[in-house]
Amino acid sequence: MARKSKRASLHLTEKQSAMLSNLAHSRTGLVREVERAKILLEYAQGASIADIERRVGVSRPTVYKCIDKALRSGVSAGLKDTYHRPFAPQITEDAKAWVVS
């Protein structure tokens, strides 16, 4: 039997569970979001990390990142990619004026 994760458990509302289930069975959704939905559903149901890794077909770090992001920022944030730039892009007034003109 696989060891239980020491991470906090993920509690889903009925609405969140239905949304993840629809996305997990989607044939038109983005592959990475479908995989993440499957990861979150299985983790919420109490599956071990090793079982999730095997069933979904992703690496252990991918499973950990998805779960940690969902626990930290919420289920919908766990499905999306994070912004990788160290700062938000800034457009100066001169640049805006140049584009508009």
| Separation CA 18–CA 91 (nearest Å) | 40
The encoded tokens of residue 96 equal: 């805006």
The model carries a pTM of 0.77
- 77 Cβ partners below 8 Å, 6+ apart? 69, 70
Q: What's the average model confidence in pLDDT over 23-37? A: 93
- Express each pLDDT in 43-94 by its tens digit: 999 999 999 999 999 999 999 999 999 999 899 888 988 777 777 778 888 8
Domain assignment present for residue 2? The answer is: no
Q: What is the pLDDT at residue 5?
A: 67
Establish if 76 belongs to a structural domain.
yes
Q: How confident is the model at residue 96 (pLDDT cuts 50, 70, 90)?
A: confident
Residue type, 87: F
**Number of domains the chain contains:** 1
Backbone angles phi, psi at 4, to 5 degrees: -80, 140
Q: Is residue 17 part of a domain?
A: no
pLDDT in tens, 16-25: 999 999 999 9
Any domain includes 16? no
